Structure 1
Amino acid sequence: MKSAFLLSALTALQLLGVDAAVFPKKIYGVNLGSWLLIEPWMLPREWVNMGGQQCSDCSKCIASEFEFAKAFPSTVDQKLNTHWESWFSQSDVNSLVGVGINTVRIPMGYWIVEALVDRSTEFYPKGGIRQLKRGLNQLKTAGIVAILDHHALPGVQTAQQQFTGRCTTNVQFYTTHNYHRALIWTAVMTALSHLDQDFSNVVAIEAVNEPIMDANLTPGYGTFQKQFVQVIRAVEIVLGIPVPGMPAQSFSTSNFTQALVQASSSSAFSQEVRSVLLDTAPILQGVAGQLSLDLFHFSQNRNLPPLVSNFMDINWQHNNPANPADAAIGPQIYDNHLYYSFGGVADPNENAYLTSVCNLDRIQQDANLGNSPLFFGEWGLPTQFTASDSFLRKWADAQKFSYSKGAGWIFWNFKIEISDLAGDTARQWSYLEGVKRGYLTKDPAAMNDPNVCDDFIN
């Protein structure tokens, strides 16, 4: 069901005749995983050929972007640029169009904003922001909207995960310093989404991918959620974009970075938001130089909708987590991830899987707590048991049946390497391979068997 804010945004755009991005009526999407943030398990042959390594403990070898950049400081930028060009290209965009994809979620590390990296202790590639601009332009031309997903946070948000960019048990994201860096990243991405035409298909920014699930281990996260939204809205106010419940501001300059500096003195914003705006100004100027973006002649007369703020839902965490719904100012959407292959969801057999997913109540549970609309931002076909082809068709249909009751779904991942080292990983983790094998229908709104859940619904 389309939410009220999506209807409002779409109606406003139609009335104004403005060409700007909004979420589609139903999200049918894929993640662009391992593009701007490599997870070596998805492309092991390429990773080894680049000079990376494989090991059972990803903190003990070159099995993350951090360790790769540390090992190859003089060639990392060239090697990663070659990867960025090849892993996601125009042919991939064409493939996504061919299977009806309307939305992508783009996982990124904080280091795509290069000035945020402490080069004395942190090791990451440079140049990704230009590739993001290139890819967004190709997606926009194809009519596909994008979620900018802050997938790997400064200081690392979850232990021992390749998706954080660094495998380590020393989790330091949940600190004042790293929250601040993440907020600057947010301000930069908000500004680019409204100022750079190649970013104009960006509909949402996701705050944090998969924070620690125990809220006792994420101090200050609820405050960060509120500041995340406040930063997005503050940048939009500087741009002249109306924000519900917040007063308009005017600035005596046509230089956007100078306007940010002026806004940093406004009593309309909290102390932390003012500090973020002030620190963002010179960093955004550097990013604009990389992208040849003119910040000197901006106008506050913008008939554009605000971006949608995006969080993992409240039920992602336990032990009395903060409710991200409490942070909302303007349009907001929520994300849930569901993988049966890691256990804890259903017994490892076909009937248990289908009974569980066909009776899924997460959308209603979230709605009861204000976390609506909800999309399923990560899911796939992997199982804890050896799955037959016939079951995978049912498994794909049943998940789509339940996830489509919300705002829609985004599959992990758009593709997986086909190689000797990757084995048959693509069979259950690649959307394009799933369509090729017939597990997933070429029309994402369709199912092989629309009655797949009839015998399992309680």
Structure 2
Amino acid sequence: MLSPYFSQSDSLYESYGHLTFNKNGDEDFDRLREGSSRTYLDQEENDMDESLLPNLPQDSGFDYVNDKVRGVNIGNWLLFELWMDSNLSNALNSHLVNAPYPNAIIDEWTAGLYSDYNHASHVLRKHFDTWFTEQDVIDIKNAGLNHIRLPFPYWAFAQAKGPSAPYLTLNRFDKLIEACGWARTHGIKVWVDIHGVPGSQNGFDNSGRSGPIHWPNKPLYYTNTQYTFNRLATLFSQPEWKGTVTAVEAVNEPLATNSDAVKQLILKYYPWARNAAARPPNSTDYTSLLMVMHDGFLGPAYWENFFDERASHRVLLDTHQYFVYTAAEKKMKDSGRLRLMCAMQDVFTKSQNYYPTIAGEWSVSGPNGDRSSDRDLPQGPVSFPPGPNYPYSEGYMNFMSYGYNIQRATYEKGSGWIFWAWKNANALDWSYQAGLQYGWIPKDAGAPSPFGDDPCANYR
């Protein structure tokens, strides 16, 4: 059942500046199906002197080889995740239309299917205005952070959404531009991350639609993904964004381990996206924009020789590290989880030889939350502000302070990290803001660790 409120008249063509994208063409998708080899723009680059090689990672506005990314994800903003905000969930589910059961809105897709449009529009626009503001950017800067990663859905462009998907476009694109302007004002670097693509790349609610993975199944899904990337690359390669928006992430968390079709698609999509970032459609010169590729849960080692050396200079590798999901992790004591974190140091060190490698998502929460039987760590050097109004036990906060410092040291064996997430209204142990407030996260992300130069010394 589709919502009666979404547009039936989206054009398949859009002029954007001097560009016209024809979204009906599926020739590139057909070539992918035929298994054509990877191609890059670097043939021209290969003819150049090394000293003239255009736009290395440091030319993007941040030196991803020699400096450290320290950032936060702006989750649950332009693509909501209702587990992070029960107030938003309750507000959307309070005005259902033709819903099969109560609380039927669980993701962006069902919000379009079962919402009263006027009510949902009001609720979401208010959410966009309040969940993330310029004051947040100032607070991020004051916390010693230098990056934000902005999850962004393809349906923010009505032309990519098309006439049949029920997603609510609203003013998401305008809010993205506003946020990038705040970042530019306050000296914060931005990754724009295509977090949701047509058909879903992973079946998770954070793709916009929970359920089956359909992204690889239709040529138009791939073409609309390309359209979205081209729109972002074209805009953010303009001079006013140079040095602020440093990269566009091609797709968040494609589930390549569970779907060979997804795997085969990203093997072709990433080279295309690398080229589109380097030289968007109708561009006459190289940009300074980089392409971020997520590892597809295949692990950084899988990608070591995927791009040759010349092509790789435009690529950042994003890998997401969580220690909360598997049955084994849930059975561990805290010390076991710290050992898993420390074991990743060699992975980041090795991957750094091929690409600037960043933990683009991670957290400090335990898989069982504040369960006292998990605690087996000595009291660490971190002192918490005076209680007693802590959200968690001091033992759990002690574990999170260990986890923060150990993971920070681990990911800085590579090019750094971007925490998930800046804010979480429902689960404060997933919130960087809350960690700052209660002390398990330090006030300055760049300050020396209170655990010493090698916080993994006892956990190898």
TM value normalised by structure 1: 0.73
How many Å apart are 1:117 and its aligned residue? 1.0
Write the distance in 2 (CA, Å) between the matches of 1:329 and 1:306: 14
The answer to whether structure 1 residue 193 and structure 2 residue 236 are counterparts is: yes
Question: Which residue is 1:231 aligned to?
Answer: 276
| 1:73-84 correspondence to structure 2 within 5 Å | 73-84=117-128
| 1:150-299 correspondence to structure 2 within 5 Å | 150-159=194-203, 161-195=204-238, 197=240, 201-214=244-257, 216-218=260-262, 219-235=264-280, 238-242=282-286
Question: Which residue is 1:255 aligned to?
Answer: none
Query: SS where residue 459 of structure 2 aligns?
Result: coil
The answer on whether the counterparts of 2:290 and 2:316 sit within 8 Å (CA) in structure 1 is: yes
Q: What letter matches 1:350 in structure 2?
A: D
Question: Which of 406, 411, 418 pairs up with 1:403?
Answer: 411
Query: SS where residue 381 of structure 1 aligns?
Result: coil
Question: Which residue is 1:413 aligned to?
Answer: 421
1:56-87 residue CA offsets vs partner (Å, 9 max, x unmatched): xx998201112112222334333221111100
Query: SS where residue 235 of structure 1 aligns?
Result: coil
How many Å apart are 1:212 and its aligned residue? 1.1
Question: Which of 374, 378, 403 pairs up with 2:361?
Answer: 378
How many aligned residue pairs are there?
371
Query: SS where residue 194 of structure 2 aligns?
Result: strand
1:280-318 residue CA offsets vs partner (Å, 9 max, x unmatched): xxxxxxxxxxxxxxxxxxxxxxxxx52111101376369
Q: What letter matches 1:362 in structure 2?
A: V
Question: Which residue is 2:335 aligned to?
Answer: 351
Query: SS where residue 220 of structure 2 aligns?
Result: helix
The answer to whether structure 1 residue 310 and structure 2 residue 292 are counterparts is: yes
The answer on whether the counterparts of 1:23 and 1:203 sit within 8 Å (CA) in structure 2 is: no
1:168-189 residue CA offsets vs partner (Å, 9 max, x unmatched): 2252345422111111111110
How many Å apart are 1:209 and its aligned residue? 0.6
The answer to whether structure 1 residue 32 and structure 2 residue 74 are counterparts is: yes
Write the distance in 2 (CA, Å) between the matches of 1:321 and 1:359: 19
Write the distance in 2 (CA, Å) between the matches of 1:60 and 1:325: 45
How many Å apart are 1:240 and its aligned residue? 3.3
1:381-418 residue CA offsets vs partner (Å, 9 max, x unmatched): 1112426222211111111111111100000000111x
Q: What letter matches 2:321 in structure 1?
A: L
Question: Which residue is 1:453 aligned to?
Answer: 456
Query: SS where residue 104 of structure 1 aligns?
Result: strand
TM value normalised by structure 2: 0.73
| 1:66-105 correspondence to structure 2 within 5 Å | 66-70=109-113, 71-105=115-149
Question: Which residue is 1:296 aligned to?
Answer: none
1:184-241 residue CA offsets vs partner (Å, 9 max, x unmatched): 11111011102373676110011111111325242433112222222223317x3333
The answer on whether the counterparts of 1:133 and 1:199 sit within 8 Å (CA) in structure 2 is: no
Write the distance in 1 (CA, Å) between the matches of 2:73 and 2:270: 23
1:138-165 residue CA offsets vs partner (Å, 9 max, x unmatched): 1110100100101111111112x11011
63-72 or 334-343: bigger deviation: 63-72
Write the distance in 1 (CA, Å) between the matches of 2:117 and 2:95: 16
The answer on whether the counterparts of 1:348 and 1:383 sit within 8 Å (CA) in structure 2 is: no
1:246-296 residue CA offsets vs partner (Å, 9 max, x unmatched): xxxxxxxxxxxxxxxxxxxxxxxxxxxxxxxxxxxxxxxxxxxxxxxxxxx
Write the distance in 2 (CA, Å) between the matches of 1:319 and 1:394: 27
Q: What letter matches 2:148 in structure 1?
A: V
Query: SS where residue 91 of structure 2 aligns?
Result: helix
Query: SS where residue 440 of structure 1 aligns?
Result: coil
Question: Which of 61, 65, 72 pairs up with 1:21?
Answer: 61
The answer on whether the counterparts of 2:294 and 2:317 sit within 8 Å (CA) in structure 1 is: yes
For residues 76 and 98 of structure 1, do their structure 2 counterparts lie closer, same or farther at Cα, with a shift above 3 Å needed?
Answer: same
Structure 1, unaligned runs of 5 or more: 14-19, 243-304
The answer to whether structure 1 residue 362 and structure 2 residue 344 are counterparts is: no
Q: What letter matches 1:430 in structure 2?
A: S
142-151 or 171-180: bigger deviation: 171-180
For residues 318 and 134 of structure 1, do their structure 2 counterparts lie closer, same or farther at Cα, with a shift above 3 Å needed?
Answer: closer
For residues 120 and 344 of structure 1, do their structure 2 counterparts lie closer, same or farther at Cα, with a shift above 3 Å needed?
Answer: same
Write the distance in 2 (CA, Å) between the matches of 1:358 and 1:61: 41
The answer on whether the counterparts of 1:306 and 1:330 sit within 8 Å (CA) in structure 2 is: no
Structure 2, unaligned runs of 5 or more: 1-49, 376-395
Query: SS where residue 166 of structure 2 aligns?
Result: coil
Question: Which of 317, 338, 342 pairs up with 2:325?
Answer: 342
The answer on whether the counterparts of 1:230 and 1:329 sit within 8 Å (CA) in structure 2 is: no
How many Å apart are 1:136 and its aligned residue? 0.7
For residues 11 and 336 of structure 1, do their structure 2 counterparts lie closer, same or farther at Cα, with a shift above 3 Å needed?
Answer: closer
Over the matched positions of the two proteins, sequence identity in percent amounts to: 23
Structure 1 vs Structure 2 CA RMSD: 3.2
324-333 or 311-320: bigger deviation: 311-320
The answer to whether structure 1 residue 106 and structure 2 residue 106 are counterparts is: no
